[in-house]
Chains A and B, each alone.
Chain A
Amino acid sequence: MSTPRDERDRDGGQTPWLYRRRTINGLFWALAGLCLLLVLADFVYPRYGTFAFEEFPAAYGIFGFVAFVFIVFAGIGLRKLIMRDEDYYDR
């Protein structure tokens, strides 16, 4: 029970639990740990896919990660092309 009180003492009880650095770090590493477990699971339960490349270990993980990063960076690029002021159509 001492940890939360210590946290409160340090930030004067202002920062909510979810916004504390400690919570955020904990969540991040928990997610990373889950991802690692899922890759290990690929070696225990080999995947049966329609296509050969699906059976490559961590294939879905790599695809998901790369796709996500690509979408975000493509979005940033798209902004340069199509972003206008908020009142663009009202002027």
Chain B
Amino acid sequence: MIASFSPGLILIVGGLLIPLFRGRARQLFMLALPVLGAAQLLGLSNGLHGQIEIFDYTLTFVRADRLSFVFGLIFLIASFYNTIYSLHENDTMQQVAAPIYAGAAIGAVYAGDLITLFIFWEITAVSSVFLIWARRTAKAYAVGMRYLIIQVGSGVILLAGIILRTQETGSIAFEHIGTTDLAGWLILIAFGIKAAFPFLHNWLQDAYPEATVTGTVVLSAFTTKLAVYVLARGFAGTELLIYVGAVMTAFPVFFAVIENDLRRVLAFSLNNQVGFMVAGIGVGTSLALNGAVAHAFVHIIYKSLLFMSMGAVLHRVGTIKASELGGLYRSMPITTVFCIIGAASITAFPLFSGYIAKSLTLSATAEGGYVVAWLILVFASAGVLEHSGIKIPYFAFFAHDSGKRCQEAPGNMLIAMAIAAFLSVAIGVYPDMLYAILPFPVDYQPYTVSHVLSQLQLLLFAMLAFAILVRTGLYPKEIPSTNLNTDWIYRKALPVLLLWLGNAVEAMRRGAAARAQRRLERFILQVYRHHGPAGIMARTWQTGHTVLWVALLLGAYLLVYFL
């Protein structure tokens, strides 16, 4: 490569040029962008490149090392099959936004300093919202605004943290940060918002399911995994993260059980999966960090696969509500198979990609002696099986036959799903392919008899539990509903509170105005009484009276003078 610029730049600049092309040329150009990006990525030698001096600081646009390489590579792979998946669409807004968003995420991954990181961090926020707005409904507009406010908010908190940190340390380098001071905490919160930490999470379930068919697939890959990357870079070994991660894996599973919108179920599932990565980062050993990174890598692929299969259903049937679906395996058999491969991967069945990644994190958590966290992670693994392994394929393609019949997914969608499905199986069967590029050397054997049998036992018994619950009629029905979450605070409670406050202020204002008016009226009445036509001041006096008063006054004056 001639110049050592960020591979993300190719996608950002390329994205801006897309409107110049039409038809087949545009499609080829869009597909070329991630390929060119990959060529640039593979050509970069490890080290710092593209440094610019601004004032007293050195901006580093490219810091290439093993950690940035894995994330850069998977972002480009995802960008490639996402482009194929959306080839049937001709929406310039999304076609421009998607590569810029992916490019910004890659730019952030390669950022060697906090200011460069901040710039790309904000570009991901602003570019991604167009994938939601592209649905062009009033609801999508409102959701997009909420999403944007939270994403940009995360950027503002990040900036505050960066400024504080730069003042304290005099350096803008993006290395290990830790939670030793306020700056560290602010940066952690900013990262935590994008990673969807508990209570900071609901933008994800709110926004992702409301994006377009292809937009949701794109969204699912980048923002949260960028957060995983920056956490791994800045907060590895922060013990708090073990428990934050454990809570993240556990609580979304309960919400996923009762959620009717299957893309929202997958959003809860995304939250749960990122929890495993966050916990691994908290453990912080080389095995655990390898686990978190490997998990992020395979997760992007199988989560895209699941979102793509649900997107195909939404595209063909027009709904993604579990209560309206079922029996689609006859109409969409190939999509069904791909969905099941995604489901097997996310539930970590042996020979599928989730298994070889999650095993690293679980082993590292156990070896670290974090019994409670480990138990929660194993519990959450059964939860993953519930919502992503069973619920998604079962309610869309099997369950009760909804009677809906449709065409199989479009060819380009099938190709994109085939790529993701192939990678999910290939990495599961040949884990060394992935292990070879992880940040630390891997000395781990996922396929031991003991380990495989344990995992199969966990999963098959959980499946048995599902079968028994369905056969006995105890498994809850899918109900068209809205389930409250933390977004209730700003979507319902705050507006009601503000309305109440507004009304109270208005009532006070009216009361004050009425009192002021009464006082004014009384004052005018007084003035009228004295100065009005019948007032004492308006009375006309006869000349005789005046002469008498003058004589009296003169008399009084003389009297005073002689005294």
Contacts and interface: CB of A to CB of B under 8 A. Distances in A.
Given A61-B458, A64-B461, A67-B462, A72 B481 contact: no
A64 B465 contact: yes
A75 to B, nearest CB: 3
Interface in A14-63: 16, 18-19, 28, 31-32, 34-35, 38-39, 41-42, 45-51, 54, 58, 60-63
Given A51-B366, A65-B465, A84-B483, A71 B253 contact: yes
B450 A38 contact: no
Given A42-B453, A71-B386, A88-B482, A64 B476 contact: no
A28 B465 CA distance: 11
B471 A72 contact: no
Contacts of B258: 75-76, 78-79, 83
A45 B253 contact: no
A73 B363 CA distance: 29
B458 A51 contact: no
Contacts of A19: 401
A73 B378 CA distance: 18
Interface stretch (B106-114, B278-286, B484-492): B484-492
Given A50-B367, A89-B492, A71 B257 contact: yes
A9 interface: no
Contact of B450 (A28, A47, A64): A47
B216 to A, nearest CB: 19
Interface in B425-453: 449-450, 453
Nearest to A82: B484
B471 A39 contact: no
| B interface, over-half SS | helix
B135 interface: no
Nearest to B463: A31
B453 A18 contact: no
A47 B461 contact: no
A16 B453 contact: no
Contacts of B330: 16
B511 interface: no
A64 B384 CA distance: 11
Q: Chain B interface: which size bin?
A: 35 or more
A82 B479 CA distance: 13
Contact of B329 (A18, A28, A71, A76): A18
Contacts of B139: 90
Contacts of B481: 79, 83-86
Nearest to B481: A83
B371 A51 contact: yes
A50 B476 contact: no
A74 interface: yes
A65 B483 contact: no
Contacts of B367: 50
Contacts of A18: 329, 398
A72 B469 contact: yes
A60 B458 contact: yes
Contacts of A86: 480-482
A18 B400 CA distance: 11
Given A72-B476, A86-B480, A60 B449 contact: no
Interface string B309-349: 00000000000000000000110000000000000000000
A37 to B, nearest CB: 9
Contacts of A62: 461
B482 A85 contact: yes
Closest 10 CB pairs of A and B: A75-B257, A67-B382, A68-B465, A50-B366, A61-B461, A64-B458, A64-B462, A82-B484, A64-B461, A60-B457
7 contacts: A42-B453, A45-B453, A64-B382, A72-B386, A74-B257, A75-B255, A83-B481
Given A61-B461, A64-B382, A65-B464, 9 more contacts: A38-B456, A38-B461, A47-B450, A49-B366, A67-B379, A75-B258, A76-B258, A87-B482, A89-B491
